[in-house]
Amino acid sequence: MSRKTGKLTKVEKFYIENNTDKEVGEVAKDLNRTKASVEKHIAKQKTSHVDKVQDKKAPISELFGHKEDRGVTIMTPAASETADETRSSRVNQSKRHKNAIHIINPENK
């Protein structure tokens, strides 16, 4: 029986990602794929994971603690640190809206 060719399907990618404890040859045999294609996907996943961790910072809203059933939101230490780091970009607002809590039409600064 010949090996499958072409792109890996989502199911095959999922199987590879969730069976990292198995040897590459065993995973390739289970999927009827070549070792090279499985190794290539594993290498791609490792580099993309490193890039995501280094480049992507969580949006500030995800750093807050939420309890939606009670309508409560709490600032966590991580959210506070992120707010401190980004303060300089938020402080440079126009003087016209300096004391405003809410700007109705932000295009008319």
Structural domain span for residue 71? 60-89
Confidence of residue 68 (pLDDT cuts 50, 70, 90): confident
Residue 20 lies in a domain: yes
Coil, helix or strand for 65? Answer: strand
Residue 5 lies in a domain: no
The dihedral sign for the CA sequence 4, 23, 10, 57: negative
Q: Based on the fold, state whether residues 27 and 40 are members of the same structural domain.
A: yes
Region 92-97: mean pLDDT is 64
Region 39-51: mean pLDDT is 78
**Is 50 exceeded by the pLDDT of residue 94?**
yes
Q: Based on the fold, state whether residues 14 and 27 are members of the same structural domain.
A: yes
Query: Residue 74 region, left (φ>0) first, then alpha (ψ -120 to 50), else beta?
Result: beta
0.85 surpassed by pTM: no
Q: Based on the fold, state whether residues 46 and 80 are members of the same structural domain.
A: no
Q: Based on the fold, state whether residues 45 and 79 are members of the same structural domain.
A: no
